[in-house]
């Protein structure tokens, strides 16, 4: 194939003019769409917020209030709910843990001397004793009511 008829000077000049126009259009479009950079590198305009000077405010007197959501403080030496107790002074006979407060209620199991329980409910008075609902921390099935006369407060294990 002979390319000589196509390589004449008007064809070459026409191709160069078209290429020049395309390059010029590309440069113009790039210049209009590229972001403008500030010539002052390292300077950024800042917004200024004016804060007025403080004024004198009279001192307010604090009024103590009782927080209804705060847990009441309890004496750590007395039996209380969520406290721990230990069975005392029952020897080898054990302590009858009952299904309800009172001497005539069903015995659920026998608590052993020095066994520790978590107090979950109480106190309730029945048959001359104060009763507390106890739950063994290691076994939820070991739970029932016990007379306070055979319980001593101990720290949490």
Q: Which CATH architecture has domain 84-154?
A: Roll (2.30)
The domain limits of the chain are 7-33, 84-154
* DSSP E strand stretches across the chain: 84-87, 95-98, 107-111, 116-126, 129-136, 139-147, 151-154
Distance, C-alpha 26 to centroid of its chain: 58
Reading the chain (157 residues) residue by residue, the pLDDT tens digits are 677 777 788 888 999 999 999 999 988 888 766 666 655 556 666 677 777 877 777 766 666 666 666 666 667 778 999 999 999 988 888 999 999 999 999 999 999 999 999 999 989 999 999 999 999 998 888 999 999 999 999 988 7
């Amino acid at each position: 194939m002979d390319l000589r008829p196509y390589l004449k000077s008007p064809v070459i000049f026409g191709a160069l003019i078209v290429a020049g126009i395309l390059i010029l259009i590309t440069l113009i479009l790039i210049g209009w769409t590229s972001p403008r950079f500030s010539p002052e590198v390292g300077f950024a305009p800042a917004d200024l917020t004016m804060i007025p000077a403080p004024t004198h405010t009279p001192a307010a007197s604090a009024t103590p209030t009782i927080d209804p959501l705060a847990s009441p403080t309890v004496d750590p030496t007395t039996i209380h709910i969520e406290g721990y107790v230990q069975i005392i002074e029952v020897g080898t006979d054990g302590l009858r843990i009952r299904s309800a407060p009172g001497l005539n209620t069903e015995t659920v199991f026998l608590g052993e001397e020095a066994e520790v329980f978590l107090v979950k409910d109480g106190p309730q008075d029945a048959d001359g004793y104060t009763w507390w609902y106890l739950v063994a921390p290691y076994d939820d099935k070991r739970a029932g009511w016990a007379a306070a006369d055979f319980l001593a407060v101990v720290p949490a294990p």
